[in-house]
Structure 1
Amino acid sequence: MRERISARGYENYLGHFNLTLGLHDALATAGGARIVSLSSSGHLFSPVVFDDIHFERRPYEEWAAYGQSKTGNVLLAVGAAERWADDGITANAVMPGGIRTGLQRHQEGNTTPEVTEAFANFTWKTVEEGAATSVLVAASPLLEGVTGRYFEDCNEAELNTDPNPYADSGVRPYALDTDNAKRLWDLGTAMLHS
């Protein structure tokens, strides 16, 4: 992976945040709308590092950046769940799973030995298997009113406190932390208005 920063100098969480904010009124009008924020087990690599979110004072490390952006996508769902419940909007994050698509061309040849080994031993999903969790969270009546959670393999994920960043399941507590969600929401709002 190569560094991908916007023209304003931001990592990719901000686009998801801006789109979600822009859709708020339509979602509220729809009644019972659901936000499905796509994340990844890559969130296990890093929390959002609020003291240096743009890698200005620390070396850029692509897997930390990827992890931070995927943690941001979980926190986006947690933040929307907190703020927009009274509007009838639910928001959850999902880990669709590793699906062999053209996206991997950005990773192959640019990884550490640990990541290369993890990819070699990874159980890849079909496109249909990868879409299943997103479809469940978006449409199942079983999840009516369920909000601010993280799902994988068509189930709510368990908390993962294993320090191994290559663990392939569960959700880190920092990704579901409401204080982190509020802080990132406030930071995202400030960045959009700067």
Structure 2
Amino acid sequence: MTTNNPITTSFAHTSTAMDVIRGVDLVRRRAIVTGGSSGIGVETARALASAGAEVTLAVRNPDAGQQAADDITGTTGNDRVMVAPLDLADQGSIADFVANWDGPLHILVNNAGIMAAPLSRTPQGWEMQFATNHLGHFALATGLRPALASGDGGRIVSVSSAAHLRSPVVFDDIQYDKREYEPWQAYGQSKTANVLFAVEASRLWADDGITANSLMPGAIRTNLQRYVSEEELDRLRAGNAAAWKTVEQGAATSVLVAASPLLDGVGGRYFEDCQEAAPAQPGGRTGVADYALDPEAAERLWKVSTALLKS
């Protein structure tokens, strides 16, 4: 980690991924984008490819992934856009992906996720949002650590959300075995876990030259909201209509964290609107919660996650 001086940039709420990547050279760099076949994932991948990176779209649906890869190649001229199957709710799928990865990795964008889903569980009994949004990416990143360590300043991009303000990680009942399930609260818990992961990964893997940062992409209408009713979306839009972004704008902060020279050696921080976020204020919808950056909670979550994957 670097000093605590906040990272500021010339970009803002309306900046696009292509604005952020302009002038950045990623030739000879290799990137993975989970959920790269749609939404902000495909636009993140497109921006990285436009800067010359080799990009692998890690997706549940390889056919949709191939369509996205062909589209990215068509718009960027970069034919080094690959597709690989990955189901973050399936630990076997993650293990296969890791086993099949060969060579160094420079950028891992943990982008895929599910939002506000009805209660469901993995075969291990894990609550599905926590399992997919956090544990799946945790297993992927830890499995790819050697590749990131050999990547000369490997970066991990942990896509979180302002929804982390809805809930800390409730260690006494992460899996909703005892408390009543509430979809948005469960989503918030998983997004807090994304921030805490970046904090602890940056601490533990500093000697490997690996940094991890988290971010809020913004409010964007994508497949992520497939479990959210139109009525609920209308209510959310009415509450803060100006905050909604296009997918190209929504991918901007991910691309900043993935590729900006301003973040060389910087880890364990949370960004929104292409700036390092300020502390959240009570009742506010922006900023980062203290509990999401708490190093003790980050260390505890790492240990809990490691134990769950071994069980």
Do these two structures clear the TM 0.5 threshold for a shared fold by scoring above it? Answer: yes
> Which of 203, 223, 228 does residue 102 from structure 1 map onto?
223
Q: How far apart in 2 are the matches of 1:110 and 1:14?
A: 30
Deviates more, 1:7-16 or 1:60-69: 7-16
> How many positions carry a matched residue from both structures?
188
Q: 1:33 to 1:97 in 2, by over 3 A?
A: same
Q: How far apart in 2 are the matches of 1:33 and 1:85?
A: 10
Q: How far apart in 1 are the matches of 2:224 and 2:190?
A: 16
> Which of 119, 144, 150 does residue 3 from structure 1 map onto?
119
Q: 1:120 to 1:77 in 2, by over 3 A?
A: same
Q: 1:181 to 1:96 in 2, by over 3 A?
A: same
Alignment of 1:13-162 (within 5 A): 13-108=134-229, 117-122=235-240, 123-162=243-282
Q: Deviations over 1:5-30 (max 9, x none)?
A: 32211132211111111110000011
Q: 1:94 to 1:188 in 2, by over 3 A?
A: same
Q: How far apart in 2 are the matches of 1:8 and 1:28?
A: 30
Determine whether 1:172 maps to 2:292: no
* Paired letter, 1:17: F
Q: Secondary structure at the match of 1:30?
A: coil
Q: Deviations over 1:41-97 (max 9, x none)?
A: 010000000011111111111111000000000011001011001100010001111
Percent identity reads: 57
Q: Secondary structure at the match of 2:144?
A: helix
Q: How far apart in 2 are the matches of 1:117 and 1:57?
A: 30
Higher RCO (CA < 8 A, seq sep 6+): 1
Q: Tell me, which stretches of 5 or more residues in structure 1 are unaligned?
A: none
Determine whether 1:182 maps to 2:303: no
Q: How far apart in 2 are the matches of 1:153 and 1:83?
A: 27
Q: 1:46 to 1:110 in 2, by over 3 A?
A: farther
Decide whether the 8 Å contact of 1:79 with 1:181 is kept in 2: yes
Q: Tell me, which stretches of 5 or more residues in structure 2 are unaligned?
A: 1-116
* Paired letter, 2:155: R
Decide whether the 8 Å contact of 1:31 with 1:88 is kept in 2: yes
Q: How far apart in 2 are the matches of 1:23 and 1:120?
A: 41
Q: Secondary structure at the match of 2:296?
A: helix
Q: Secondary structure at the match of 1:71?
A: helix
Q: How far apart in 2 are the matches of 1:64 and 1:14?
A: 17
Q: 1:42 to 1:4 in 2, by over 3 A?
A: farther
Q: How far apart in 2 are the matches of 1:77 and 1:43?
A: 14
Q: How far apart in 2 are the matches of 1:45 and 1:116?
A: 19
Decide whether the 8 Å contact of 1:78 with 1:92 is kept in 2: yes
Which structure: larger Rg?
2
Q: How far apart in 2 are the matches of 1:116 and 1:125?
A: 15
* Paired letter, 2:274: C
